[in-house]
Amino acid sequence: QTVVTQEPSFSVSPGGTVTLTCGLTSGSVSTSYYPSWYQQTPGQAPRTLIYSTNTRSSGVPDRFSGSIVGNKAALTITGAQADDESDYYCVLYMGSGIYVFGTGTKVTVL
Amino acid sequence: EVQLVQSGAEVKKPGESLRISCKGSGYTFSSFWIAWVRQMPGKGLEWMGIIYPYDSDTRYNPSFQGQVTISADKSIRTAYLQWSSLKASDTAIYYCARPPNTSSARGGMDVWGQGTTVTVSS
């Protein structure tokens, strides 16, 4: 069974930079997995930040960026702000219309 | 404006049936796949399945195959998620979401519905 891994938690200082990753327990993540990233705060629907590896969704500030780093997908937040404190999820496309979500990363800004 | 608007919260008893909906607007509904995502209380997001309203081609997460049915009526721009016999473990928030590109299931999800809370309790 495919498991998509994310760091359980990360802490970043206001104004700092943090890179979250999204990997596979077996194999490497490439652009062929069309990695995408979502931000979710308690009680709210997910908000799309990045799709297809590095395309920012409409209205998303450019301090959020997506890439492939080594064998994982990555979401980098540059110049972290207090309202970036959220849960972040990645999802990978496995082919044939099938997706698998990552386990999620809780980001604290302090 | 592209929008997905979901039906309201539901409270049901175990064994009851249920269908929730997701209505698209602001785009050509039949040309974009629609996915369903579950979030159990205090837990992460789980991808359930996806449908292409144009021809009702449907793909399921094996974990949900046989447990739910995904359907769509392109004439009224609406996708559905239904259960024939609910269990307490179906208590969750259910989101619909749409990939970014016409006719392709790839790319992730770009547009989300507001979510439908389903509570199953005796």
- Contacts of residue B107, defined as CB under 8 A and 6 or more positions apart, other chains included, come to A34, A36, A51, A52, A93, B99, B100, B101
Average confidence (pLDDT) over B71-97: 98
For residue A2, the model assigns a pLDDT of: 81
Average confidence (pLDDT) over A45-73: 97
Contact between B109 and A35 using a beta-carbon 8 Å cutoff: no
Residue A86 forms contact with B (CB below 8 Å): no
Amino acid at site B106: R
- Confidence band of B53 (pLDDT split at 50, 70, 90): very high
For residue B102, the model assigns a pLDDT of: 87
Nearest-Cα distance to chain B for A46, in Å, is 7
Average confidence (pLDDT) over A14-26: 96
pLDDT value at B65 more than 90: yes
Size (chain A), residues: 110
* Out of A34, A46, A51, closest to residue B45 by CB: A46
Per cent of chain B over pLDDT 70 is 100
Cβ atoms of residues B90 and B31 within 8 Å: no
Report, in this order, helix, strand and coil percent for chain B, each rounded to 5: 5, 50, 45
| Mean of the per-residue pLDDT values of chain B | 97
Residue A88 forms contact with B (CB below 8 Å): no
For residue A1, the model assigns a pLDDT of: 77
- Region of A17 please: left (phi>0), alpha (psi -120 to 50) or beta: beta
Q: Find the residue in A nearest to B99 (Cα).
A: A51
For residue B76, the model assigns a pLDDT of: 98
Per cent of chain A over pLDDT 70 is 100
Structure tokens that stand for B78 in this block: 């609406």
With tokens 């652009």, the residue in question is A31
Selected for mutation to probe chain A from B45, B57, B98 (highest A CB count within 10 Å) is B45
